[in-house]
Amino acid sequence: MRKAMLSRVNLPGLATIAVAIALWQLYASTIGARFDSIASSTAIFSAIKGSFADGVLFDQLAHTASIALAGWIIASALGFAIGLLIGVSNTVWTYSLASLDVLRSIPSISFVPVAVLWFGFSVTTELIIVIYVSLWPILLGTLSSVHSAPAGLVDVSRVFHLSRAATLFKITLPAALPSILVSLRLSLTLAIALAVVAEMIGNPQGLGFAMVSAQQAMRPDRAFAYLVVIGVLGWAANALFVAIGGAFTRGYERAL
Amino acid sequence: MIKGAPLRGLLPLALGLVLWQLLAPANSPYFPPPSEWIRALEALAQRRQLWPAISVTVMNFLLALLLSILIGSALGILLGRSKLLDRLLGPLLEFCRTMPAGALVPVAVLIMGYTSSMTLFVVVFTSFWPILLNARSGARNISQDRLDTARAFKLSWWATQTKILLPSVVPSIRLGTQIAAPITLIIVLLVEILTQVSGVGRQIALAQSVFRSSTVYGLVALTGLFGLAVNAFIGWIGHLARKYDPSFSTSAVSR
């Protein structure tokens, strides 16, 4: 088991990252040293260590992560419920889809200034932005996968004379699960990204605000440090979700 | 993405807009009616700020998408054809791929300043991934028959690349472009809103900061039109693909 885990680790790939870090250090201490805007790898690492040591970074990380997570959970529940309603009912589908199609064409980022207009600079603004943006993938993923359940499976439910509820819970939803999981993962990434953006524009707290402050104070070491932290946060959330989601859909390829 | 949406479905949206127009007072600070949006846009146009902003945003979008297609397909084909490179660069690219665009902006501003090349850099860096991923899987799964054909005809290395490999990967690049186009539009607006360098995003951010809500709504509706145009463009590419390439498949590698 452990050997299998080890062989899955891409050692040459990790070595490339190490080389890239070393090359950046070399560049920053030679050519890049002339620029105020470049921070060396070691300066970035010590900035990360420093902000972790005095607890500031941890608070900011906790703020961003918790808002992103809360917004994502609310959006997931809301998006799933609305998507299910539209996907299951033909009437609702007919009389709402085109409207949704137009609304989803509005780039979600445009909503950020509107949210600031409504709620001022506050946590509410940040949360609303996260919810709005991460709602779309789940809503669209749920409604399209529920609406287009594989014909063979639908026939099976008819053969067994399943009730509408039984069809939904035993056939439609399990069949839709993989694509719903994909949209959940997509919107988790979006939730973190938009929490950071919202902190830059609409709520002076958390990682995003700290990063803009570092930039405005001309502290490249801190700005890069936050970039690394936010990158790791996004990457870790994604990896965690893939691991958990994989456990749910094991064996699906064979079943469908 | 969603096919066969009947036009009747526009009814709720139209009804909502009409109600909004009828119920909201013209000077409402939070929900100005749609007629005020148009008036605000006209005022912006009279101050000669609307059309320059639109042209900057559209140019940014087109240029960034073009660069994304070039860089994404080149890198993707390279990684798809070389297992070694793919393994070497895999984790690094995986990390870069999950980097949120917003987080890149402050660092890019530090290094490049508030410039249009900074905008292009951030947009391309965050939106070319779908093209790269699709080009990579296209180049990886190229059929052995086609490569054998090249060998049978004793094609040179260059001829193999341009006559066999590239045409085989084009459908994948097309799919990647269809996914990347809306992302590109979003990130262009994101950078414009965040940095207020130029473009429609800058105008939205400016209007918001002085509480001109009808201008904000008007510009947001305008970005909605951009979004619809991008979606029409994607549909048109798909239509072309189905017309000229019967083997066209719609299974794309997204994120």
Whether residue B76 lies inside any domain: the answer is yes
CA atoms of A166 and A248, how far apart (whole Å):
20
**Is there a contact between A96 and B224 if contact means CB atoms under 8 Å apart?**
no
B247 DSSP assignment: T
Query: Given this model, what pLDDT does residue A256 score?
Result: 44
Q: Do B100 and A10 touch (CB under 8 A)?
A: no
Query: Which tokens in the block code for residue A83?
Result: 């998507």
Does A94 have pLDDT greater than 80?
Answer: yes
pTM of the model: 0.87
Structural domain contains residue B27? no
> What ipTM was reported for this prediction?
0.84
Question: Which CATH number does the domain housing residue B86 bear?
Answer: 1.10.3720.10
Is B52 within a domain?
A: yes
Q: Is residue B14 part of a domain?
A: no
CB contact under 8 A, B89 and A94: no
Q: What is the pLDDT of residue A156?
A: 82
In the structure encoding, which two tokens stand for residue B149, read together?
């054909």
Average pLDDT over residues A38-56: 85
**Residue B1 falls within a domain, yes or no?**
no
* Best-predicted range by mean pLDDT (A22-26, A148-152, A193-197): A193-197
Exposed/middle/buried for residue B98 (C-beta within 10 Å: 0-12, 13-18, 19+) = buried
Q: Please give the backbone phi and psi of residue A211, each rounded to the nearest 5 degrees, phi first.
A: -70, -45
Tens digit of pLDDT at every position of chain B (255 positions): 455 667 888 888 989 999 988 888 877 888 888 888 889 889 888 988 899 999 999 999 999 999 999 999 999 999 998 888 888 888 888 888 888 888 899 889 888 888 889 999 999 999 999 999 999 998 888 888 888 888 888 888 888 888 888 888 888 898 899 889 999 999 999 999 998 888 999 999 998 888 888 889 999 999 999 999 998 888 888 888 777 765 555 455 554
Reduced DSSP (H G I as helix, E B as strand, rest coil) percent helix, strand, coil of chain A, to 5:
85, 0, 15
Q: Is residue B216 situated within a structural domain? A: yes
Assess if residue B47 is contained within a domain.
yes
Degrees (nearest 5) of the Cα angle B222, B228, B232?
145
pLDDT in tens, A137-187: 999 889 888 887 777 877 888 888 888 888 888 888 888 888 888 889 889
By residue count, chain A amounts to 256
Q: Which fold has domain A48-249?
A: MetI-like fold (1.10.3720)
Q: Does B183 touch chain A (CB under 8 A)?
A: no
Neighbours of B136 (CB within 10 A): 25
**Rounded CA separation B219/B125 (Å):** 26
- Whether B13 maps to a domain, the answer reads no
Nearest CA-CA distance, residue B229 and chain A, Å: 9
What's the gap in Å between the CA of B145 and the closest CA on chain A? 27
User: Among B5, B4, B34, which residue's Cα sits nearest to residue B17?
Assistant: B34
Instruction: Give dist(CA A73, CA B4) in Å, integer.
Output: 30
Total domains, chain B: 1
Q: Which of residues 81-110 of B touch A (CB under 8 A)?
A: 87-92, 94-96, 98-107, 109-110
